[in-house]
Amino acid sequence: MRTQPSGRRWPAALRRTAIPAVAAFVALTVLSACANGGGLRVEGAEAPPASSTPSIALGTNGVQPEPKLTPEVAVDLAQVRVKLLADKHLPQYARSVLEKCTVIPRCLSRGKTVDVMHSGTPQQIVFIHTLENFVFGFFLIAVEPSGPRPIWSLKADLPTVNASPQGELVVESKIFTIDDKVCCPSGGRIEVYRWDGRQMAKVSSTDQ
C-alpha cells in the first residue's frame, strides 16, 4: 500500500469521506455530555413548580358559575297576609281579596328574592292575585329576624319582576285595551324603579 507523501494535500474524495466522520464524532460527544447532565441547559425543559393557588370549580359548560349575590329566602305568606291587612294604606281591592282568602296560596305567591335596598337583608317579591289566579300587583317584603315587613307595592297586571345588575327593580307588565280578552293583552310596559334611601322611585317607563 502506498502512503501519502507528507506535505501533499489529500485527494478530494478522501476529504469528503473524512469530514462527515469527524462531524458525526463531535455530535456524539455533545449528546453524551447532555445526557450526563452537562452541556447547555434548555430553558423550560424542567417541569414547572406546583402552584399554590387553589383550583376554581367550573360548571358543566366549562364556565365559572356566577356567585349568588342575594340568598334565596322563603318568607311566610301567612305572616305577610297579616302584616298587609294591618296596613291602613292597603288598597281596598287588595284588602278585599286578602280578607276573603282563607287558603293563602290562592291569593299570595312568592317571586324573586332581591336586595334593591342594598341593605344586605334580602327582600322578597310577593304577588297578589285573585282567586281565579289573575295577578294584579305585588309587594316588596323585607325579610327581617322579627318577621316580614312590607316596604312597597305596585299595582300591575300580570307582572314579571326582576333585579337588574345595577340593583334596580325591573317590572314588565301587560296592558289591556277595551277590546282585549283576559287571556290576551295587546300591550306591555317596562318600568324601572330605584331605591332612593327612603322609597322606590320610578326611573323610567316604556310602553310597548
More confident residue, 35 or 188: 188
Which pLDDT does position 43 carry in this prediction?
A: 35
pLDDT reading at 2 higher than 70: no
In single-letter form, the type of residue at position 131 comes to L
Q: Hey, what's the cell of 200? A: 322606590
Please count the structural domains in the chain. 1
Question: Taking the model in full, what pTM does it have?
Answer: 0.65
When pLDDT is averaged across residues 79-85 and rounded to a whole number, the result is: 97
Residue 20 in any domain: the answer is: no
Confidence band of 62 (pLDDT split at 50, 70, 90):
low
Averaged pLDDT score across all residues of the chain: 77
When pLDDT is averaged across residues 1-24 and rounded to a whole number, the result is: 47
Q: Measured between alpha carbons, how far is 127 from 8 in angstroms, rounded to an integer? A: 110
Residue 11 in any domain: the answer is: no
Q: Measured between alpha carbons, how far is 188 from 207 in angstroms, rounded to an integer? A: 6
- Report the sign of the C-alpha dihedral through residues 110, 111, 116, 118, in that order: positive
Residue 132 in any domain: the answer is: yes
Q: Where in the sequence is the domain holding 140, given as residue range(s)?
A: 77-207
Residue 72 in any domain: the answer is: no
Residue 27 in any domain: the answer is: no
- Across-strand partners of 62? none
